[in-house]
Amino acid sequence: MTELASTMPIATNGQKSNASLLARAKKVVAGGDSSTMRVLPYHLPLVAERGDGARVWDAEGREYLDMNMAYGPLIYGHRPRMVVDAVTRQITHGGSQLGFPTEIGIRAAENVQRLFPSMELMRFANSGTEACASSVRLARAFTGRRKIIMFEGHYHGWSEAVFTKYHAPLSELPERGYAPAIPGTLGIAGSIDDVIVCRWNNLEVLERCMAEHRGQIAAVIMEPIMGNGGVIAPADDYLRGVRYLTLESDVLLMFDEVITGMRVAPGGAQELYQLSPDISVVSKCIGSGYPVAAFGARREIMERIVSGAVFHGGVYSANACVMAAVEASTRYALEHHETIYPHLNRVTDELAAGLHEILERLGVPHLVQHVGPLLSLFLTREPVEKLSEYRDVRRACDFEKFIELQHAMQRLGVYFHPNQFEPMFPSTAHTSADIGIVLERFETAARATLV
Ligand code: PLP
């Protein structure tokens, strides 16, 4: 560690340190930050001062190549010019919050619909959590049924409706492959009782689960590419099989594309796999860092909201400031997808190949899995060929080793999340030269911690 510590850039302002700022934060903000994943007991302190392109700087003036990109929204990097300009124009000349419908909001919705044609009608919300909770309510209201099927390792926000213990230890997972959800937090009540959690990427288990609950299920909800339990692609024909099973039983299929929307393809996983869900939720990339989500479905389903039978609201829903960001971000994707996605795929391929080559050469068991610019590096205890579901990741991966590696990388000026369930999120701001720097530092960190 001392060898690595000696390569740390020198703090420039001497006054503030990440650690002292966090200690100050803890006196006013419960746990030191308003989102739990940002300050965990095993995090090295990092208080961000600013970001630019593919880089962030901390309170001590240290520069990091950022592979976390705010957990995914920053598809164009930090502070992309066209988004900053659009927001600045809006807040300077129009206002951030007008309390009326706005044309910028209408244009943003039209763009989102062009990207995701399955969303015939949509509503904007302020977060993925809100949009997922509203979608669940909508599914229950539309079908008149209560039960929801979700999947191990998948996360749909922290609402009362769907916050399960999505990273449960193996000992708590049912042998038969599905069971009533374990609530994700103390204090949760009510609607989680109607959630069943099932193994993912396994049609046989889902079929059994659906058969046992025939006539009671409103919706099957999933991340079409698992992102919250590490990146795992759906097996060949899995999504098609789920689509068949849900149609056959008249159950709604909901894709939570909070991560995958506008990331793995302009129109998300539903475009990549050419498969339409009944209800979709999109969020992170459409806002490029501004707080937004959208949920939508075909007209017949969304009619429940149009008629007022299902309530959805929000003082800040579709506020003009955020709509300016969404309009700019989605328009850019619509106009430049032919350059954006090849770039994202190329730099991620370079990252994946480089990580694999280094670890292979050093004899460290691992697996790199990615779907487009959504990548997981898994450090495994033994060599494994494939990880197909959450249980595989839990069983095979060495979480302690990953934390050591992450600490070494952070000290060397590269940030990704220390929990290996969290993917890396390359952006259009990352160049091949940046990936080269990441890989160079990765080799140093891997030699220091894994060999
Ligand atoms: N769904 C998925 C797939 C997510 O990854 C997240 C957050 O990371 C959410 C829902 C919740 O979104 P938010 O944190 O904006 O409430």
The dihedral of CA 286, 147, 168, 235: what is its sign? negative
Pairwise CA distance, residues 180 & 337, whole Å: 41
Among all residues, which ones are annotated catalytic?
155, 256, 284
Report pTM.
0.96
Pairwise CA distance, residues 260 & 98, whole Å: 30
Minimum-distance ligand 1 atom for the alpha carbon of 154: 3
Q: State the pLDDT at residue 9.
A: 44
How far is the centre of ligand 1, averaged over its atoms, from the C-alpha of 156 (Å)?
Answer: 6
How far is the centre of ligand 1, averaged over its atoms, from the C-alpha of 287 (Å)?
Answer: 13
**pLDDT tens digit string along 389-403?**
999 999 999 999 999
How far is the centre of ligand 1, averaged over its atoms, from the C-alpha of 224 (Å)?
Answer: 14
Beta bridge partners of 215: none
Label the pairing between strands 414-415 and 63-66. parallel
* DSSP codes, 338-357: HHHHHHHHHHHHHHHHHHHH
Is the beta carbon of 285 within 6 A of some atom in ligand 1?
no
Is the beta carbon of 317 within 6 A of some atom in ligand 1?
no
Pairwise CA distance, residues 159 & 157, whole Å: 6
**pLDDT tens digit string along 159-182?**
999 999 999 999 999 999 999 999
Mutating to test ligand 1, I would choose from 124, 167, 259, 262 the residue with most ligand atoms within 8 A of its C-beta, which is: 259
CB 364 within 8 A of CB 451: yes
* DSSP codes, 256-287: EETTTBTTTBTTHHHHHTT---SEEEE-HHHH
Is the beta carbon of 70 within 6 A of some atom in ligand 1?
no
How far is the centre of ligand 1, averaged over its atoms, from the C-alpha of 302 (Å)?
Answer: 22
**pLDDT tens digit string along 72-107?**
999 999 999 999 999 999 999 999 999 999 999 999
How far is the centre of ligand 1, averaged over its atoms, from the C-alpha of 367 (Å)?
Answer: 25
Is the beta carbon of 283 within 6 A of some atom in ligand 1?
yes
Is the beta carbon of 271 within 6 A of some atom in ligand 1?
no
Pairwise CA distance, residues 340 & 7, whole Å: 34
Among protein residues, the one with the nearest Cα to ligand 1's atom 3 is 258
Low-confidence ranges of the chain (pLDDT < 50): 1-12
Is the beta carbon of 163 within 6 A of some atom in ligand 1?
no
Q: State the pLDDT at residue 65.
A: 98
| Residue position matching structure tokens 């759906």 | 234
Q: Is 441 helix (H, G, I), strand (E, B) or coil?
A: helix
Is the beta carbon of 157 within 6 A of some atom in ligand 1?
yes
Pairwise CA distance, residues 46 & 107, whole Å: 37
Query: What single DSSP character describes residue 70?
Result: G
Is the beta carbon of 68 within 6 A of some atom in ligand 1?
no
Among protein residues, the one with the nearest Cα to ligand 1's atom 10 is 156
Minimum-distance ligand 1 atom for the alpha carbon of 228: 5
Q: State the pLDDT at residue 15.
A: 74
Q: Is 370 helix (H, G, I), strand (E, B) or coil?
A: strand
Is the beta carbon of 291 within 6 A of some atom in ligand 1?
no
How far is the centre of ligand 1, averaged over its atoms, from the C-alpha of 4 (Å)?
Answer: 34
Minimum-distance ligand 1 atom for the alpha carbon of 130: 16
Q: How big is the CA angle at 127 (ends 58 and 377), to the nearest 5 degrees?
A: 55
Residues 6 or more apart whose Cβ sits within 8 Å of residue 130: 157, 159, 293, 314
Q: State the pLDDT at residue 14.
A: 54
Q: Report how far Cα 206 is from the mean position of its chain's Cα atoms.
A: 24
CB 426 within 8 A of CB 351: yes
| Residue position matching structure tokens 């006196």 | 27
Token duo for residue 25: 């934060």
Label the pairing between strands 121-125 and 293-297. antiparallel
Pairwise CA distance, residues 312 & 305, whole Å: 7
| Residue position matching structure tokens 């934060």 | 25
